[in-house]
Structure 1
Amino acid sequence: MSLELNDTLQTLVDGLTENFSDKLIEVYQSSGDTFVRVEADSILEISKYLKKKQHFVFLCDVFGNDRYTSDERFEVVYNLMNLRTQTRVFIKVRVEEENPTLESVSSVWKAAGWNEREVYDMFGVRFENHPDLRRIFMPEDFEYFPMRKEFPLLGIPGSIELPNTTPDTE
């Protein structure tokens, strides 16, 4: 990393520490990227700060992860970019397996809407105050979340009607 990038990341970490010291869990670097894990109840407040004060105006992606642990099983990761400095940061939030819920950040970045719907559809993490939280790939009445680790690789027989693959012999 260049010196400027280190300075930018240091400014980011200093700002988060100064404003949200009780909400930061860990900050680390891996493979050249910076990761900041925060308390789940602070994601909306921290998102607003990152966009307005730190200029992370581009939400590249939001994705889920099933850690398959008994504590804080699901993780939601926000991939953010500051276009001025070309700095990227990943904000991580963990939620419990029982009633996994987070505040939606779609009021901060409109692009979060589709991504949060995908995380909900695949992992079952609900996003409070989302403008249109419904399934995006699976039917609304589908009872399962296909990206959870306990979901069978071949699916659940009879859980969804599949198209007929037998060719017509007319």
Structure 2
Amino acid sequence: MNVEDLARRLAEYNLAVELKPTTPDPHLEVPREILPQAARLLRDDPDLAFDSLMCLSGLDRPDSLEVVYNLFSFKHLHKVTLKTRCPKDDPAIPTVSPLWPTADWHEREAYDLIGIQFTGHPDLRRILLPDDWEGHPLRKDYQAPALWHDIPVTNPSPTNE
């Protein structure tokens, strides 16, 4: 099943997803409000059976924060990429960790580094940085502190050496 067929299938369930004809692979844009329903359908529909979340990535876009979900079906050997966005001033997206347990740590990483709150996540806390770290270092507007507990924090810049 290709991504165009998937978009039609989701439309049959009145889920307003948008097919984006990106290169090399098209993807489905899913509004965050319907992400849980769309994700459950993609996993539970026997003709789709996306039983594996291969990767989840958080991105800081110029006008929003984005989460990219790479899904795979071992039963049908097909794949799809979902993308959902949230405003930077309301960085919340529903968790998919009850559907795909691998999302647990992926969502924690996106929270830790980008600042996306995954609503309904069972244990949303920092995973890489110390609990008392301020800010989210992969945000484009992030300013690293000069010190953390009296330890200098360096912000290395690339050199041509």
The 1:20–1:84 alpha-carbon spacing in structure 2 relative to 1, beyond 3 Å, is same
TM-score, with length taken from structure 2: 0.85
Contact 1:75 1:92 in 2 (8 A): yes
Partner of 2:29: 37
The 1:60–1:161 alpha-carbon spacing in structure 2 relative to 1, beyond 3 Å, is farther
What CA deviation, in whole Å up to 9, does each residue of 1:83-115 have, x standing for no partner? Answer: 233222111110011131111110100110000
The 1:82–1:29 alpha-carbon spacing in structure 2 relative to 1, beyond 3 Å, is farther
Q: d(CA) in 1 for partners of 2:131 and 2:34?
A: 29
Partner of 2:156: none
Q: Which amino acid aligns with 1:48?
A: R
Matched, 1:75 2:66: yes
* Residue of structure 2 aligned with 1:142, choices 133, 155, 160: 133
C-alpha RMSD of the superposition: 1.8
Q: d(CA) in 2 for partners of 1:161 and 1:57?
A: 46
TM-score, with length taken from structure 1: 0.81
Structure 1 runs (4+) greater than 2 angstroms displaced:
7-11, 28-32, 159-163
Matched, 1:125 2:116: yes
Identity within the alignment, %: 32
The 1:31–1:128 alpha-carbon spacing in structure 2 relative to 1, beyond 3 Å, is same
Helix, strand or coil for the counterpart of 2:42?
helix
Q: Which amino acid aligns with 1:44?
A: P
Contact 1:59 1:111 in 2 (8 A): yes
Number of residue pairs the alignment of both structures matches: 150
Q: Which amino acid aligns with 1:116?
A: E
Q: d(CA) in 2 for partners of 1:135 and 1:144?
A: 11
Partner of 1:88: 79
Instruction: Write the mapping of 1:1-170 to structure 2, written as runs, cut at 5 A.
Output: 7-21=1-15, 23-24=16-17, 26-53=18-45, 54-69=48-63, 73-152=64-143, 155-159=144-148, 162=151
Helix, strand or coil for the counterpart of 2:110?
helix
Structure 1 residue 68: deviation in Å?
2.0
Report which of the two structures shows the higher radius of gyration computed on alpha carbons: 1
Structure 1 residue 151: deviation in Å?
1.9
Helix, strand or coil for the counterpart of 2:26?
strand
Q: d(CA) in 2 for partners of 1:68 and 1:15?
A: 31
Gaps of 5+ in 2: 153-161
Q: d(CA) in 2 for partners of 1:59 and 1:129?
A: 18
